[in-house]
Structure 1
Amino acid sequence: MGSQMTEMLKGTLEGIVLAVLAARPAYGYEITAQLRDQGFSDLVEGTVYALLVRVEQKGLVDVAKVPSEKGPPRKVYTLNAQGREQLEEFWRTWSFLAERIDQLRTHDTEGGS
């Protein structure tokens, strides 16, 4: 990923992780693996774990410790009602920005200045 992609991802990663959790509860490594499978190949596991700590502190997820076959119990994150509200706000903001950016791009390709 280029530096521009990295910077844009920093601003949207919370919403992306909340969207993953909206589909089903997951633990940190599962989230990282799913995002990598979806093309976020340079995503560092530590980045996701740090973000999960923040969304837990904000009260956007519920956390359950689930026994693991290997090692200590895993923290499984489930999106709660407050997290769903935050995700809805993320999608509203995303739609607004995407529309404006698309207008700028369309205006630019039409020869506007």
Structure 2
Amino acid sequence: MDQTQLLKGVLDLAVLAVVQDEDGYGYDIVRRLREGGLAEVGDASVYGTLRRLYAAGALTSYVVPSESGPHRKYYGITPIGREQLARQRDDWHAFATTLDGLLAGPAAPAPARGASA
């Protein structure tokens, strides 16, 4: 299945999930997403998501000088971001449960009361 369309709806959630325990700079976050199984995630999509989450107050950022290249802009999750992550995680679980039910097909009808097997 092409993940591109699925990623559009869950990229905020995925980015918040990978920075919840450890801050990261842009390409590091892309790498973590890919290593986590989102191989088709695009660099530009992640950078746009980081900018949008930062503007919304879900992420904080700071610059760390680098001796071997340009300075790196790190992103960390804020309390607003943690609330958003929790809310979106709950939404995702509810959605996945619903979709799993649809994919499983109709449930077998329950036996009539008083019927013996």
**So what's the TM-score if we normalise by structure 2?**
0.85
1:38 shift after superposition: 2.1
Aligned structure 1 segments of 4 or more residues deviating by more than 4 angstroms: none
Partner of 2:85 in structure 1? 87
Larger Rg over CA atoms = 2
Between Structure 1 and Structure 2, the one with more helix by share is 1
- Distance, in Å, in 2 between the alignment partners of 1:81 and 1:73 is 26
1:109 shift after superposition: 8.5
- Distance, in Å, in 1 between the alignment partners of 2:106 and 2:19 is 37
Partner of 1:22 in structure 2? 20
- Distance, in Å, in 2 between the alignment partners of 1:55 and 1:34 is 17
Cα 1:109–1:35 shift into 2, 3 Å: farther
Partner of 1:32 in structure 2? 30
Consecutive unaligned residues of structure 1, counting only runs of 5 or more, are: none
* Aligned-pair Cα RMSD in Å: 1.6
- Distance, in Å, in 1 between the alignment partners of 2:88 and 2:14 is 9
Partner of 1:76 in structure 2? 74
- Distance, in Å, in 1 between the alignment partners of 2:62 and 2:41 is 24
1:86 shift after superposition: 0.2
Consecutive unaligned residues of structure 2, counting only runs of 5 or more, are: 109-117
Cα 1:78–1:107 shift into 2, 3 Å: same
Q: Percent identity?
A: 37
